[in-house]
């Protein structure tokens, strides 16, 4: 967006490692931030490139969004506008293009269902209250591992998770929910002192508001497949 170079060094789990002039060794950017931008483009046709909309690496995420076919930068403050939907071509192929659209539409329905038209809602993991812009419809069981029936189980397969750490910690397996509905974390002392350690300590033992008998199998999958495998 600014004309400065951002280089993708690697993709590790749910993060992209991005090198910049200030951080040549690379810093992690959650893939979920890009997905959030894709969702906004799909539902609104445009998205403002600000930390409030796209996270703390909004410039990088905006640059990624702007390479979509039909997308472009415009205005000050900068906005990414999608003039037309992505089309199938030689490079992307029919399956990849179709799958991307299906994911966007499902995410939009999930988020609308979970937020329910409210001007603020609580993160299911930390319990804090946020405007909807800071909440994502996080799949309890990874979408790629869900059957068709599970993907349609919109009432139980997803939860609201905040972008202030809970979504990324759950996706990467640093936290999970036990069979009693309480948040379990990896030992906080496995990370240096600071915000992440404090966040893990804060979350440990909290009740997850999305845990129900119907959602329990999805949490069990996450616990056994993601949390215990890290």
Same domain, 141 and 202: yes
The whole domain housing 202 covers 113-227
Q: Work out the average pLDDT over 136-157.
A: 90
Place of tokens 């990370």: 191
Backbone angles phi, psi at 57, to 5 degrees: -105, 50
Same domain, 62 and 118: no
Q: How many domains does the chain have?
A: 2
Measured CA to CA, the distance from residue 37 to residue 8 in angstroms comes to 18
Secondary structure of residue 63 in the 3-state scheme? helix
Lowest pLDDT segment from 92-96, 139-143, 149-153, 157-161: 92-96
Same domain, 65 and 137: no
What is the number of residues in the chain? Answer: 230
pLDDT tens sequence across 50-66: 888 888 788 888 888 88
pLDDT at 1: 62
Measured CA to CA, the distance from residue 166 to residue 129 in angstroms comes to 13
Residue 103: inside a domain: no
Same domain, 78 and 122: no
Q: Kindly report the pTM of this predicted structure.
A: 0.55
User: What is the DSSP code string of 141-203?
Assistant: S-GGG--HHHHT-TTTSEEEEETTTHHHHHHTTSEEE-TTSBEEE--GGGS-TTHHHHHHHHH
């Amino acid at each position: 967006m600014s004309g400065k170079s951002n280089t993708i060094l690697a993709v590790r789990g749910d993060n992209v490692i991005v090198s910049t002039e200030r951080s040549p060794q690379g810093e992690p950017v959650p893939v979920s931030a890009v997905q959030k931008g894709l969702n906004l483009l799909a539902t609104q046709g445009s998205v403002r490139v600000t930390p409030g909309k796209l996270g703390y690496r909004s410039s990088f995420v905006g640059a990624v969004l702007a390479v979509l076919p039909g997308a472009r930068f415009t205005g000050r403050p900068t906005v990414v506008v999608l003039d037309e939907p992505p089309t199938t071509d030689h490079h992307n192929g029919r399956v990849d293009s179709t799958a991307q659209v299906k994911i966007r539409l499902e995410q939009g329905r999930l988020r609308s269902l979970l937020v329910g038209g409210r001007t603020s809602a609580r993160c299911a993991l930390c319990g804090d209250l946020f405007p909807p812009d800071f909440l994502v419809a996080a799949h309890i069981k990874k979408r790629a591992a869900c059957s068709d029936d599970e993907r349609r189980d919109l009432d139980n397969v997803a939860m609201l998770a905040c972008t202030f750490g809970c979504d990324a910690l759950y996706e990467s397996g640093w936290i999970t929910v036990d069979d009693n509905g309480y948040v379990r974390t990896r030992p906080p002392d496995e990370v240096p002192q600071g915000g992440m350690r404090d966040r893990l300590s804060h979350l440990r033992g909290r009740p997850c508001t999305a845990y129900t008998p119907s959602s329990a199998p999805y949490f069990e999958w996450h616990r056994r497949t993601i949390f215990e495998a890290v």
